[in-house]
A and B are shown apart, each in its own frame.
Chain A
């Protein structure tokens, strides 16, 4: 990057440049030292043996372990995001209702599921289904239920923010044209709110994808389970497995994150919606950040 003025630093002069170069050198030495220490420790434990990387070149390992796990992760995340959207529309609309007997319960449900850990819901889904209905729930559905309730509550807030982000003049104009409440909502507010909430929706997908790894705890066969439990158990290559599996997660999430930024930029420019795009940060509260 070319040296230029930023919020913290003025354009560097010759003395500052020298100081920065010294800092760079010191920093580089320190970081290389730490990196070498970590590498050496794992190397001592034999974790960087070339043998241990071989399984990742074997198509059978991919077909038998990594890909089925990936499918497990993606299907749980995808299904729960779809269901969460339905949940979000129902409870988001409930929170916007003019009737207190709809608004209050919806608000309570949304706040409740945002306030408790997803893992608790997953445990309860599985154990509760067995105790109440005598039904042995598949780990897949337990994960989907937990993710749906949590992500649905966050998306309900996003949805509400999306509707509220549509300028008031829009609904006033619609009422002036003679549309009813349902018509205003269906024809004016919803289409614009949907465009505005797209970036937040995609960012929430990243969170759902990461949270689907909680399925590991109840022995759901997701990417973490097949790639980080079964694979190292048969090849004793924990560190290579960690690197490969986390790389898959990171690439998937970076891809989704990129889509979110593109969508945000597009809907900022777009004339389809008069509402400003909603991001997870806009919603604030217990959502998005730090999940």
Chain B
């Protein structure tokens, strides 16, 4: 415990980095995931095929590998970098890897949300003369988005926990700090419990909130 208290500013800095990574990657992966989902339901086979390929690849590759590829492949082999500052560079590579990986799951969540809307709903919308955009806006999306809330919450919780893997891209977030503290001093149990508590505080309320929201917004069918 003493090690934890003595290094409190570092611990908080670590969790602050975790939060920043989570929020930025969540925003990026939501945007990319939406684009992918739109491609996966598009009427053009080429776009569908490419999105399916992307999702299958990223979903079945370990996140550790995706992040390693970002730092080794893009940064070291291609010398493509975001910034001169190594700290900022590490941050953006971490965001890139996390969003590339998470967007595949976001896409699947959104797509399965669209698929839960019964075909009869769309047929009825067309039958009363609604145009494509109108039926999308008034009939399909309101139902689809509500079903997507729960799964997207799970994705966000998983993303929060996944930020720890960023350690392979060399960015200092909570797990990195924990590893450092463990090697510096003693009191491993206290350090672990402290960091675990930090993640419990971050993930449990998020999970509960989204479960509550999903229940509240559920469509009764």
**B62, A290: Cβ atoms closer than 8 Å:** no
A7: interface (CB < 8 Å)? yes
Task: Please choose the segment from B5-13, B40-48, B86-94 that sits at the chain A interface, where 4 or more of its residues have CB less than 8 A away.
Answer: B40-48
**A287, B154: Cβ atoms closer than 8 Å:** yes
Smallest beta-carbon distance B26→chain A, Å: 11
Residues from chain A with Cβ under 8 Å of B80 in the complex? 41
Which residues of B, 186-211, contact A by the 8 Å Cβ criterion?
A: 186, 188-189, 192, 195-196, 199-200, 203-204, 207, 211
**A216, B168: Cβ atoms closer than 8 Å:** yes
**A7, B122: Cβ atoms closer than 8 Å:** yes
Smallest beta-carbon distance A261→chain B, Å: 14
Which residues of A, 197-251, contact B by the 8 Å Cβ criterion?
A: 206, 210-214, 216-217, 224, 228, 232, 238-239, 242, 245-246, 249-250
Knowing A120-B175, A286-B157 are in contact, say whether A7-B56 is a contact too (CB < 8 A).
no
A285 to B204, CA, bound (A): 9
Residues from chain B with Cβ under 8 Å of A111 in the complex? 204
Which residues of A, 100-138, contact B by the 8 Å Cβ criterion?
A: 111-112, 115-120, 123-124, 127-128, 130-132
A42 to B96, CA, bound (A): 18
Number of interface residues of A (CB under 8 A): 65
**A116, B199: Cβ atoms closer than 8 Å:** yes
**B77, A286: Cβ atoms closer than 8 Å:** no
A289 to B33, CA, bound (A): 14
A232 to B71, CA, bound (A): 14
A57: interface (CB < 8 Å)? no
Smallest beta-carbon distance B12→chain A, Å: 17
Per-position 1/0 for B164-187, Cβ under 8 A of A: 110110000001001100110010
Residues from chain B with Cβ under 8 Å of A42 in the complex? 77-78
Per-position 1/0 for B65-77, Cβ under 8 A of A: 1001100110011
B114: interface (CB < 8 Å)? yes
**A124, B65: Cβ atoms closer than 8 Å:** no
Residues from chain B with Cβ under 8 Å of A289 in the complex? 105, 108-109, 151, 154-155, 158
**A228, B68: Cβ atoms closer than 8 Å:** yes
Secondary structure class of chain A's binding surface, majority of residues: helix
**A128, B188: Cβ atoms closer than 8 Å:** yes
Task: Please choose the segment from A22-30, A90-98, A268-276 that sits at the chain B interface, where 4 or more of its residues have CB less than 8 A away.
Answer: A22-30
Which residues of A, 8-54, contact B by the 8 Å Cβ criterion?
A: 8-10, 12, 16, 20, 23-24, 27-28, 31, 41-42, 45, 47
Q: Taking CB as reference atom, which chain A residue is nearest B117? A: A7
**B175, A117: Cβ atoms closer than 8 Å:** yes
- Of residues A117, A120, A128, A217, which shows the largest number of chain B Cβ atoms within 10 Å of its Cβ? A117
A287 to B153, CA, bound (A): 10
**A210, B167: Cβ atoms closer than 8 Å:** no
- Which of A3, A6, A7, A119 makes the CB contact (< 8 A) with B165? A119
**A120, B57: Cβ atoms closer than 8 Å:** no
The 7 closest A-B pairs by CB, nearest first: A290-B158, A213-B62, A290-B155, A253-B60, A290-B105, A117-B161, A286-B157
A-B contact pairs, 29 of them (CB 8 A): A6-B122, A7-B119, A16-B43, A31-B46, A45-B79, A112-B200, A115-B200, A115-B207, A117-B164, A117-B165, A123-B192, A128-B188, A131-B188, A206-B60, A213-B62, A216-B64, A216-B68, A217-B165, A228-B68, A232-B72, A238-B72, A238-B73, A239-B73, A239-B77, A245-B65, A246-B65, A249-B65, A285-B207, A290-B157
13 further A-B pairs in the complex, CB-CB below 8 A; given A117-B161, A123-B182, A224-B68 = A8-B132, A24-B47, A27-B44, A45-B78, A115-B161, A115-B203, A115-B204, A117-B162, A238-B73, A246-B57, A253-B59, A284-B154, A289-B108
